[in-house]
Structure 1
Amino acid sequence: MGLGYDPDTDVPNLSGKVILITGGKSHLVAPDEQELTVKQIGTSGIGKTTVLELSKHSPEHIYFTGRNEKSAAQVISQCATPSSVTFLPCELDSLDSIRDAAAKFHHSRLDVFIANAGILAVPAAVTKDGYEIQFGTNHVGNTALLLRLLPIMLRTAKEVPDADVRYVTVTSLGYFTHPLNGIDFDGLKSKQENLLLGRWARYGQSKLANLLLARELGKRYPQITSVAIHPGVVKTEMITGLGMFDRILIFGMAPLGMLTPREGAYNTLWAATSPEVRGKLDDKTVLFEPVGKAHGGDAKCRSDELSNKLWEWTVKEVGVEVE
């Protein structure tokens, strides 16, 4: 599709770098009280492809999170150097599970944190900690793990010669379906069933939060290159498993056709490794479309007030204060 990117040649040598990629699954309770499993892109789709592509370029180590150990073992077996890849069992809808996963991170440096895990337009539900399921997974879960590992990233930036520490979050241009106020903070500890546009508003709100978190992290810690990327519309189970109406809506956003999972990983790989990324960032622009094309976003995407409020709210809820 003319993306103009080839990870085989465009991803540089990653010798010495330690990388973490989030993924996993969440559970929610449907209206009929039967438990459903909500897939995230960790051990399949974009997440799996990202792990495999990065492993080709000799990183010191790759960690990736998820719930399915069998699927994780299959991913590891396909990596260029399986011994340099570690699976961290983690449920991103559980702060206790996230704390346990962070404790199993055993390296003294962390160069790249990729917040890849996400769920899309699922039925109304809450996480184990009571947060709206999409916001709780897409934003709270990813950020809770980031905050627990952020001291290691900051130490890496300070102590490792020529360090290039990065945070990359996989968001979506679907952020535009967010509520009028951007984020409905008062309702985040509920199913938020009354939002206009329903699950799509809840999804847009969570994707806006991904973007705002990246901006705020970059402002507070300029020694970290912080980027939000839209991967494109990718043919994964996350989309093909949607209902007919939702698939029609998604397909309408990809008039030239959907990307393959490998193509869907290109923008993540670019943001995580390209030497040109920092030069494209400014205090307003952190979001990029495939591949490396700046996207200004709407007014809420550029709101300092909203990004600061989100940061303060998240730190308080997660219970991890970073100096």
Structure 2
Amino acid sequence: MGAFGWSSTTDEVLADKDLTGLTVFVTGANSGLGQETARAMAAKGAQVMMAGRDQAKLDAALATIRARVPDAQIDTIICDLGNLAQLRACGAEARARLAKIDLLINNAGVMACPFTRTADGFEMQLGTNHLGHFALTAELLPLIEAGSARRIVNLSSRGHFFAPVNLDDPHFEARPYDPWEGYGRSKTANILFTVGLEARLGARGIHAYAVHPGGIQTNLGRHLSEDMAAALMARVTSGDRGFAWKTIPQGAATSCWAATAPQIEGKGGVYCEDCHVAEVDDVSTNSGVRSYALDPVTADKLWTLSEELTGARYA
């Protein structure tokens, strides 16, 4: 086991791992970090279920992975995080097709999109990034309980620095929509969801980890105008240390690390970056996790709101 860090790649993190016999479920697996996570884990013997909302894109990603990993045990499933009825259908299909899920990688996300609503009326970023994964994870919980590794990895971001959650106005009904505030709220929610999962499931041997992948140029930025992209770059490069883009294999490495690292076994409810558990830091602009994102009281309040909005329950 090596000492991993900022530049580590998925294959380096998993080099000494044998994932044979494990079942991995990855959302947003049709491109970017999700596709790379699926490939890397399939290459180490895992059975991988690639989830996404577009079958054609899933098929293309599947073909790309099979070209690199010919013996991959890999399949696809439709999963639309912006539609609760479809998520329930996805959950039912997954329970019919899979005996267990050892590692759930809640990877999919949307960033700084124009104001839109999900099929159920939620603000799109909170609805997709948090509420969709909240509902999906509840659907998949029986399969996770049947697994052996029992880890849930939630993709967050340093974007949680942009804003805490707003439990009084989650869908921007009382104030003007700001795309970066919406993104920040949703990424903070991903961490608070991790805290909530750990509090409720940790004693049952199911552990949750939030992950910041780093700055990666993927299609996550597809909604950014030139001005928004320039403003984002100015923000991330003005901090207390230099900024550099990661490659996609480097960006997906922390997800793979959080899903498999032995040193964090049984120690969930944390936020990871650059293949380590981050320190709480309310000052730095370039590292760490804000204390408001780990607050258990806020996590409980968000959990209650998420149950109310989605109807999802964790038995």
Same fold (TM over 0.5): yes
CA distance in 1, matches of 2:168, 2:210: 25
Q: CA deviation at 1:9?
A: 4.3
Structure 2 segments unaligned to the other structure (5+ residues)? 281-288
| Equivalent position of 1:55 in the other structure | 42
Q: CA deviation at 1:18?
A: 0.7
Per the alignment, do residues 94 and 304 of structure 1 end up closer, same or farther by CA in structure 2, a change over 3 Å counting?
same
| Equivalent position of 1:200 in the other structure | 180
The amino acid of 1:287's aligned partner reads Y
CA distance in 1, matches of 2:243, 2:298: 34
1:126 aligns with 2:117: yes
| TM-score normalized with structure 1 length | 0.83
1:52-201 to structure 2, matched below 5 A, reads: 52-59=39-46, 61-77=47-63, 78-79=65-66, 80-81=69-70, 84-105=73-94, 106-156=97-147, 163-178=148-163, 182-189=164-171, 194=176, 198-201=178-181
CA distance in 2, matches of 1:56, 1:291: 20
Q: CA deviation at 1:316?
A: 2.7
The amino acid of 2:274's aligned partner reads P
| Contact 1:126 1:191 (8 Å CA) reproduced | no
Local SS of the residue matching 1:187: coil
* 1:198-225 alpha-carbon deviations (Å, 9 max, x no partner): 1111111100000000011011111112
The amino acid of 2:22's aligned partner reads K
The answer to which of 227-236 and 300-309 deviates more is 300-309
Find 2:26's aligned residue among 21, 24, 30. 21
Per the alignment, do residues 83 and 258 of structure 1 end up closer, same or farther by CA in structure 2, a change over 3 Å counting?
closer
Local SS of the residue matching 1:316: helix
Q: CA deviation at 1:193?
A: 5.1
The amino acid of 2:130's aligned partner reads H
Identity of aligned residues (%): 27
| Equivalent position of 2:255 in the other structure | 268
How large is the Cα RMSD of the aligned pairs? Answer: 2.2
| TM-score normalized with structure 2 length | 0.85
* 1:92-114 alpha-carbon deviations (Å, 9 max, x no partner): 10001111111111212110111
The amino acid of 1:66's aligned partner reads G
1:5 aligns with 2:23: no
Per the alignment, do residues 250 and 258 of structure 1 end up closer, same or farther by CA in structure 2, a change over 3 Å counting?
farther
| Contact 2:48 2:74 (8 Å CA) reproduced | yes
| Contact 1:164 1:225 (8 Å CA) reproduced | no
Structure 1 segments unaligned to the other structure (5+ residues)? 24-41, 157-162
CA distance in 2, matches of 1:170, 1:272: 12
Local SS of the residue matching 1:229: strand
Q: How many residues align?
A: 290
Q: CA deviation at 1:318?
A: 2.0
Find 1:242's aligned residue among 200, 214, 224. 224
Local SS of the residue matching 2:259: helix
The amino acid of 1:17's aligned partner reads L
Q: CA deviation at 1:6?
A: 4.1
